[in-house]
Chains A and B, each alone.
Chain A
Amino acid sequence: DAGVIQSPRHEVTEMGQEVTLRCKPISGHDYLFWYRQTMMRGLELLIYFNNNVPIDDSGMPEDRFSAKMPNASFSTLKIQPSEPRDSAVYFCASITPEASNEQFFGPGTRLTVL
C-alpha cells in the first residue's frame, strides 16, 4: 500500500486566494482525520470523517475552512479566502479501528499564505 497520499506537498499563495488541499487515505480505512501543525499551537485536530460522513468539525477554526469527503478514497480541505495566519503544515491521517488504533499519517502539505 502506498500509504496516505497528500497533495500538493507545498503550496504558496497570496492572501485572499482559495486553497484546496487533497488527501487519499489508505484503502479500507474508514476514518479520515485532518490536522494542522503550527509552531505556536502544535498539532490540532480540525475535523474527522467516518465512512465519508463528518463526525466532529469542532476544530475547524472559522467558516473560511471547509472539508468534504465525497467518497472513501478522497477528501479535500478548502480555505476560502486564505489568510497569512493559515500558514501551517496540514496533515491527513486514516485508521481502521477494528484492526488497530494506530493512525497513519500522510507527509503533509506545507501551506504558505503571503
Chain B
Amino acid sequence: GDSVTQMEGPVTLSEEAFLTINCTYTATGYPSLFWYVQYPGEGLQLLLKATKADDKGSNKGFEATYRKETTSFHLEKGSVQVSDSAVYFCALSDRAAGGGADGLTFGKGTHLIIQP
C-alpha cells in the first residue's frame, strides 16, 4: 500500500537558518504530493503541492520538488522565521485531479521549532 516517511522531530533551528525536512513516499501509481502545516490548536492547512514529476510547489518561501526518480518531496526554506514554528506533514494522494478523490496518506509529521 501507499506510505509516506518523513524525518521525525522535533527539529530546532535558529531564526534565518536554512530548513530541509525530508519526505519519501511509496505509491503504486503517480500520486499527487502535498505538504500540510498545522499550527497549535488548529486544523491542517495546505502549504504547497505538486501533481506530477519535476513539478515544484512553492508558497510563503517554502519549496518542494516532486522527484520521481528518488520518490522524494523534500520541503525547503531558505530563511525560517519564528512564525514558521508548527508541525509539517507530507502527504500523497493516488488520484489525479478530475479522477475522483481518495483519502490522503500522511507521514507522521515533523515538529519544527524556530528559536529567535
Residues in chain A within 8 A of chain B (CB atoms): 4, 31, 33, 35, 42-43, 45, 48, 50, 56, 59, 91, 93, 95, 97-108
Q: Which of B20-28, B62-70, B71-79, B106-114 has 4 or more CB atoms under 8 Å from chain A?
A: B106-114
* Proximity string of chain B (49-65) to chain A, C-beta cutoff 8 Å, 1 when within and 0 when not: 10100000000000000
Interface residues on B, range: 20 to 34
**B116 at the binding interface (Cβ < 8 Å):** no
> Contacts A42-B108, A42-B109 known; A105 to B43 CB distance under 8 Å?
yes
Residue B29 interfacial (CB < 8 Å): no
Total A-B contacts with CB atoms under 8 angstroms apart = 65
Among A35, A93, A103, A104, find the residue whose CB has the most chain B CB atoms closer than 10 A: A103
**Which residues of B are at the interface with A, using a C-beta cutoff of 8 A?**
32, 34, 36, 42-46, 49, 51, 89, 93, 95-109
Interface centre among B36, B42, B43 (most CB of A within 10 A): B43
Check if B32 sits within 8 Å of A101, measured CB to CB: yes
Contact residue among B45, B93, B100, B106 (Cβ-Cβ distance under 8 Å from A43): B106
Question: A101–B106 contact, CB under 8 A?
Answer: no
Residues of A within 8 A of B99 (CB): 97
- Cα separation A106 to B45 with both chains bound (whole Å): 9
**Contact call A101/B43, Cβ cutoff below 8 A:** no
A101 and B95 contacting across the interface, CB-CB below 8 Å: yes
